[in-house]
Amino acid sequence: MVHHSPTESEPNRDRRAIPSVSTIIERWRVGGGRDVAPAIVTQTIQRVLSEIRATIGESDVPSHDAIVARVNERLALLNTPRLTPVINATGVLLHTNLGRAPVSPATAEAMRLTAASPVALEIEPDTGQRGGRMDEISRLMRELTGAESTLVVNNNAAAVLLVLAALAPEREVIVARGQAVEIGGGFRIPDVLQQSGATMVEVGTANRTYASDYKSAVSASTAAILMVHTSNFRIEGFVSEPHLEEIVAVGRAANVPVLEDLGSGSILSPRDFGLGGERTIGESIAAGVAIVTASGDKLLGGPQAGLICGSAAFVSRIERHPLARAVRAGKVTLAGVAETLRHYVRGEATSTVPVWRMIGAPVADLEQRARTLCGRLQIAEGVAVVRPTKSTVGGGSLPGETQESWGIALDIGHPDDVARVLRLGSPAVYARINEHRLVLDLRSVLPEEDDKLCRAITVAIGPQR
């Protein structure tokens, strides 16, 4: 029996028609092979050939060129970064799936420099003695929030887990029933409490809790009262929660610390921007909360991190727990958080920290930008219209709160298809679909990205459509 290598015109289901690895390597080289280590190329070819072998009964052996194309596709996937900048035109300012808060250019630069170089992370430059890696951030947070001491960990989920593991093992933690919530991504307060080794004691009802409920739940085995910001939902109507001060008073009387998972952990008050009553870290500390935990990449506007701040005595107990080492923040994160905090120290946060620039953008500016951008799009007449929208802060901050915004609505046949083209474009753009229209909301886009956004839309829609 004669056999020869298959060509496009000559299908072949003969196992012997599968080329050898070296044949494909040769062909791959001739085709101007990519910049990938030889061992990875060989492995990829082996994998592709064995896939062909496995499906030989059902499909033809592809041509050598088709095999090389498949290999190159895999190699390109390995060799192309996924995490490159995208434009967030969803109108959700802190979009968890898009990595939450973008940091300021100064913060990004501080993180870049720290990553690429040794830094005095745990050495006091003055004395050459060992120093604390949290000292700088503690100092900044003390000024900004009144917290005596701060510890920075991987994220807020780690912060909550660590605080409970350190302060409440094998003891009881009192939580209002309405706050025993799931934050998202499987982060459920009852489960976290269980993981930490604490026992949850629920008080009140789903909608109403009184200071007296906390008072009667306190016992000799109570380690703490835990308050949780109900990040992503809001109960409306017949609802009651005691004031934080009342709960702190209950704790004081029983010598039980009040811990608060604030979630967002803002330095600035959202109320000053017409947004609802989210407590700042400073307000919680001032009310007498012993330990506040918060995210670095929500309303703080920094990199992913978890901040544990409050009483020095408690923070130092938390710092000594074995889990602290497992979840502590690295030098790049610490540099990023510190640089972000310095924007607040300089009183320039609303003009430098991206999330606050977005929150603070006047509606009239957003409308103006939408009109300018729309006028510059090189697409068919009438496809893009400027219109008012509603943006949200997102990321579990300020649930139910929206801000007036402006955007561009694209009236096209298949918004899903265009949304995909925009996501795969360069730069990629993430939009939202509202009433069968693709909407690009400008509040979550910084003005310096407008040019790029304009080009991306023009390319995705094309002048002919």
The stretch among 49-57, 193-201, 225-233, 455-463 that binds ligand PLP (CB under 6 A) is 225-233
Among 19, 394, 396, 407, binds ligand PLP (CB under 6 A): 396
Give yes or no for residue 261 binding ligand PLP (CB under 6 A).
Answer: yes
To ligand PLP, the closest distance from the beta carbon of 373 in angstroms equals 32
CB of 226 to ligand PLP, least distance (A): 11
Minimum distance of ligand PLP from residue 203's CB (angstroms): 18
Q: Does 306 bind ligand PLP (CB under 6 A)?
A: yes
Report the residue number, 154 or 405, with the smaller CB distance to ligand PLP: 154
Interaction of residue 295 with ligand PLP, rule CB under 6 A: yes
- The residue from 44, 114, 155, 266 that contacts ligand PLP (CB under 6 A) is 155
Asked if 157 is part of the footprint of ligand PLP (rule: CB under 6 A), the reply reads yes
Query: Nearest approach, Cβ of 100 to ligand PLP (angstroms)?
Result: 8
Tell me the three-class secondary structure of the chain, residue by residue. CCCCCCECCECCCCHHHCCCHHHHHHHHHHCCCCCCCHHHHHHHHHHHHHHHHHCCCCCCCCCHHHHHHHHHHHHHHHHCCCCCCEEECCCECCCHHHCCCCCCHHHHHHHHHHHCCCCCCCECCCCCCECCCCHHHHHHHHHHHCCCEEEEECCHHHHHHHHHHHHCCCCEEEEEHHHCCEEECCEEHHHHHHHHCCEEEEECCCCECCHHHHHHHCCCCEEEEEEECCCCCCCCCCCECCCHHHHHHHHHHHCCCEEEEEECCECCCHHHHCCCCCCEHHHHHHHCCCEEEEECCCCCCCCCCEEEEECHHHHHHHHCCHHHHHHECCHHHHHHHHHHHHHHHCCCHHHHCHHHHHHHCCHHHHHHHHHHHHHHCCCCCCCEEEEEEEEECECCECCCCCEEEEEEEECCCCHHHHHHHHHHCCCEEECEEECCEEEEECCCCCHHHHHHHHHHHHHHHCCCC
Q: Which is nearer to ligand PLP, 229 or 342 (CB)?
A: 229
Which is closer to ligand PLP, CB of 161 or CB of 438? 161
Residue number, 186 or 362, with CB nearest to ligand PLP: 186
Candidate ranges 139-147, 156-164, 360-368, 410-418; the one touching ligand PLP (CB under 6 A): 156-164
In this structure, how many other beta carbons lie within 10 angstroms of the beta carbon of residue 172? 21
Task: Provide the minimum distance between the beta carbon of 230 and ligand PLP in the complex, in angstroms, as a whole number.
Answer: 7
Nearer to ligand PLP, 88 or 155 (CB): 155
Which of 54-62, 227-235, 307-315, 439-447 is the region at the interface with ligand PLP (rule: CB under 6 A)?
227-235
Min dist CB 259 to ligand PLP, Å, is: 12
Residue 144 touching ligand PLP (CB under 6 A): no
Residue 302 interacting with ligand PLP (CB under 6 A): no
Is there binding between residue 156 and ligand PLP (CB under 6 A)?
yes
Residue of 231, 333, 352, 389 interacting with ligand PLP (CB under 6 A): 231
The residues in 179-198 that bind ligand PLP, with binding defined as CB under 6 A, are: 183, 187
Question: How many Cα atoms sit within 13 Å of 369 on the Cβ side?
Answer: 23
How many residues bind to ligand PLP according to rule CB under 6 A?
14
Q: Would you tell me which residues interact with ligand PLP (CB under 6 A)?
A: 155-157, 160, 183, 187, 228-229, 231, 261, 263, 295, 306, 396
